[in-house]
Amino acid sequence: MAEQRLRLPEKAFPVSWDQFHRDCRALAWRLNGAGPFEAIVCITRGGLVPAAIVARELGVRVIDTISIVSYGDFKQLEALNVVKDVDPKIASGDPAKTLIVDDLVDTGKTARLVRDKLPGAHFATVYAKPKGRPLVDTFVTEVSQDTWIYFPWDLGYSFQPPIHGGIG
């Protein structure tokens, strides 16, 4: 029986824990003048870590989640599945005092869905791809649409071959 292997994207952007923490703090610096925010809604699962860092840096104590399944096997799914919605108290509050946080905006499908639920809220991501970039108010780093970001929680410590394909 032949072993099947998952085809990985050609352009990979691995992000270490140190780099991700620095990028999240940079996001918080950019958001500091945009508030004050009374609540953060993070898009899970990717938005959990940046939301915790941003909440700490900005002194926000109320954090809620919206859980949307949008990826599988290194690709975005056709249909989005809202597994857990935003708390109605936050959704009906002052949108100018609500901050939406996610790790990445890719095609914008998830961002559009959340924007529709929380119109007027400030939307921030650590990373942005060109198709989704217009949907966010604040981000730190833009990467090409065909790049796959490997977040620290996706990585183990192992040898990484050079981009040119050789070892030496």
pLDDT tens over the chain, length 168 residues:
445 455 555 788 999 999 999 999 999 999 999 989 999 999 999 999 999 999 999 999 999 999 998 766 555 567 888 999 999 999 999 999 999 999 999 999 999 999 999 999 999 999 999 999 999 999 999 999 999 999 998 887 766 677 666 555
Task: Identify whether 16 is part of a domain.
Answer: yes
Residue 162 in domain: no
SS3 content of the chain, % helix, strand, coil (to 5): 30, 35, 40
The whole-model pTM stands at: 0.84
| Domain-located, residue 1 | no
At 107-156, the pLDDT tens digits run: 999 999 999 999 999 999 999 999 999 999 999 999 999 999 999 988 87
Distance (Å, rounded) from C-alpha 141 to C-alpha 41?
Answer: 21
> Would you name the residues annotated as active-site residues?
102-103, 106
Would you say residue 6 lies in a domain? no
> Looking at the domain assignment, is residue 31 inside a domain?
yes
Residue 1: which H helix or E strand, with range? none
Please report, for the domain that includes residue 65, its CATH number.
3.40.50.2020
Q: What are phi and psi of 145, to 5 degrees?
A: -60, -30
Q: Is residue 166 part of a domain?
A: no
**5 within some domain:** no
Is residue 3 assigned to a domain? no
Burial of 150 (0-12, 13-18, 19+ CB in 10 A): middle
| Domains of the chain: total | 1
Mean pLDDT computed over every residue of the chain: 89
Rounded distance between C-alpha atoms, residue 80 and residue 65, angstroms: 16
> Helix crossing, 17-31 with 48-58: angle to 10°?
50
Give me the domain span that covers residue 49.
12-153
